């Protein structure tokens, strides 16, 4: 048990270091996030120049939403994760199968390490840039901060399981790009990354609520800005936990099925 945990920690450290190796990419990325942070913030302010409240948001919380989503984008890695798919394509996956840790568990540990790096270097800096120019709403109570941290960890786990699932389609499909694109689209819209889910028309909000995607962005943001409070926070965290567990199980199942039909050529 302890040995397994130590192994997880080792994988997490590797995940952290992999991304720490490219500081220039980090600076460029923060710049991109800041550009889009300003854009989103001004668009939402123009919206709230005419309305005082939309779905529990006001001008200040909406601007906070704009910067927080930019801060979370790399942590939860919405776009362009193809690591597993590429390993399946190249056959490198065979090496992972003989390692002592299950690839899914190792992958999750690695991804949580990566997420920590991205939170520190890609999350906090754009948020600070936003805080220099706008008045952002911060949680007042340490309990809310704690709930937010837990929520982000669960968000990364849900996002990881989804990424693992669509990557696993490479076991069956010659070209997994189509699946990647469709899931990426659904993720950016229904997670509330582009526009908060509470702004959606009723029917579309209901569609979003039936998917795991709000667990990736909308729920952590709602906890942070205080749109959900008290016991609602616990319900929100439970929702994320349920999705994380269900999707990890599905990811494990899909991987096992995929491995069964895997043929790696070469000796």
Binding site for another protein (CB under 8 A): 22, 24-25, 28-29, 31-32, 35-36, 38-39, 42-43, 45-47, 49-51, 54, 175, 177-178, 181-182, 184-185, 188-189, 194-195, 199-201, 204
Q: Least CB distance from residue 33 to another protein, whole Å?
A: 9
Token pair 């798919």 in the structure block, residue: 85
Residue closer to another protein (CB basis): 36 or 145: 36
Residue closer to another protein (CB basis): 9 or 32: 32
Q: Least CB distance from residue 47 to another protein, whole Å?
A: 6
Token pair 């006001």 in the structure block, residue: 58
Residue closer to another protein (CB basis): 94 or 128: 128
Q: Least CB distance from residue 144 to another protein, whole Å?
A: 27
Apex 172 CA angle, 168 and 173, nearest 5: 95
Closest by CA to 63, choosing from 214, 221, 213, 229, is 221
Residue closer to another protein (CB basis): 50 or 265: 50
Residue closer to another protein (CB basis): 54 or 262: 54
Q: Least CB distance from residue 11 to another protein, whole Å?
A: 25
Q: Least CB distance from residue 169 to another protein, whole Å?
A: 15
Q: Least CB distance from residue 62 to another protein, whole Å?
A: 11
Residue closer to another protein (CB basis): 62 or 109: 62
């Amino acid at each position: 048990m302890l040995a397994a945990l130590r192994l997880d920690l080792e994988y997490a450290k590797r995940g952290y270091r992999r991304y720490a190796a490219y500081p220039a990419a980090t600076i460029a990325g923060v710049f991109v996030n800041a550009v889009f942070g300003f854009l989103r913030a001004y668009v939402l302010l123009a919206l709230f120049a005419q309305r005082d409240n939309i779905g529990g948001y006001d001008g200040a919380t909406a601007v906070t939403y704009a910067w927080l989503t930019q801060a979370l984008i790399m942590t939860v890695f919405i776009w362009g994760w193809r690591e597993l798919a590429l390993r399946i394509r190249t056959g490198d996956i065979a090496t992972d199968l003989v390692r002592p840790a299950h690839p899914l568990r190792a992958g999750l540990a690695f991804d949580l390490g990566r997420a920590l790096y991205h939170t520190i270097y890609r999350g906090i800096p754009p948020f600070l840039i936003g805080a220099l120019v706008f008045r952002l709403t911060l949680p007042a109570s340490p309990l809310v901060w704690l709930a937010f941290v837990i929520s982000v960890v669960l968000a990364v786990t849900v996002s990881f399981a989804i990424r693992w699932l669509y990557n696993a389609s490479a076991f069956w499909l010659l070209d997994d790009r189509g699946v990647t694109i469709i899931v990426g689209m659904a993720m950016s819209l229904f997670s509330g990354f582009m526009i908060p889910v509470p702004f959606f028309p009723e029917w579309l909000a209901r569609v979003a609520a039936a998917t795991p995607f709000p667990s990736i962005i909308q729920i952590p943001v709602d906890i942070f800005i205080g749109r959900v409070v008290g016991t609602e926070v616990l319900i929100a965290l439970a929702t994320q936990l349920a999705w994380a567990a269900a999707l990890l199980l599905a990811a494990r199942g899909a991987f096992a099925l995929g491995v069964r039909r895997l043929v790696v050529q070469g000796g």
